[in-house]
Structure 1
């Protein structure tokens, strides 16, 4: 799904909005072509509510983008897949973009945090997209290598 930069930018815009308006704290992230990894938190609101609202917004925005994208060669197939997933899930009316459940893991200590962050940042390397973690534009790895990333991070000291 995320092979097009405009789709990735929509996700990033949603995250920025949630950071500003919904108390979303982002500690690490990576957008791959078929999935997203995030280490997140929220001090002001229930995290599941923040993530749910973010997923709802991006689902609607990406649906509109796919339906209106003149150059989207996968349009019919993507729409068919999302509609099929939506009709199979009683929580949706007609469309499902995100998987119904997240795979949250509570990070209990610094060691777990750094292990998960390393795993997230290493995804593009393992996939063969880049040689070095910091070379993947759509990842917080850049921030940890002294480069300016695309999302403001909350740092754990």
Structure 2
């Protein structure tokens, strides 16, 4: 892990990226996306996770999260471990046309790391960036919410249900989040917020 991406202050909010090994499109399937949603909601309700924003793309997840208990690294470790175990179990036991290929890739990923004995779903590291100002927070939320638009999945960010954009537009979303105040004072940031509905 690069020195610049170490979580030094466990109490602060951070922008996190969790990426599937080899950029495999695991989350092109709804049942695997739903696993991430269920785990996020469990962590919010039971483990002190505060979610400010998130998006689930086909092969990675972006989060802006904080630990109310000051244990962000532990929280992220548990989140990745649970989602990996659950998704791998689903790949092995539920209909999946890519099963053999995916499991082979996940098995190969363990060869360079001794921590995982059978399969490795997530890449190591979280590319964590500490959120140090409200402006930086909104730049990361904008980036997160516009991911599906840039990928051509939806025209409006709030139409993509596997992100927190709809939480900010109409208070409707799959995950319970802590909303940042609408930055209407700053013209540029206000434009960024309203573009969720314009695209």
Fold shared per TM-score above 0.5: yes
Alignment of structure 1 residues 90-109 onto 2, 5 Å: 90-109=114-133
C-alpha distance in 2, partners of 1:45/1:11?
22
Unaligned residue ranges in structure 2 (runs of 5+): 1-25, 182-199
| TM superposition shift of 1:73 | 1.2
Out of 81, 100, 106, which is 2:105 matched to?
A: 81
Q: Which has the larger radius of gyration?
A: 2
Could you list the structure 1 runs, at least 4 aligned residues long, displaced by more than 2 angstroms after superposition: none
C-alpha distance in 2, partners of 1:129/1:123?
9
Unaligned residue ranges in structure 1 (runs of 5+): none
C-alpha distance in 1, partners of 2:171/2:40?
19
| Counterpart check, 1:25 vs 2:25 | no
Distance 1:55 1:105, change over 3 A: same
Aligned length: 156
Q: Deviations over 1:91-143 (max 9, x none)?
A: 21121111111110001101000001000000000000011110101000001
Q: What is aligned with 1:61?
A: 86
Moved more, 86-95 or 110-119: 86-95
Structure number with higher relative contact order (C-alpha < 8 Å, ≥ 6 residues apart): 2
Supply the RMSD in Å over aligned alpha carbons: 1.0
Contact 1:87–1:94 at 8 Å: present in 2 too?
Answer: no
Alignment of structure 1 residues 29-40 onto 2, 5 Å: 29-40=54-65
| TM superposition shift of 1:87 | 2.4
Please give the TM-score of this superposition, normalised by the length of structure 1: 0.96
Out of 28, 38, 53, which is 1:3 matched to?
A: 28
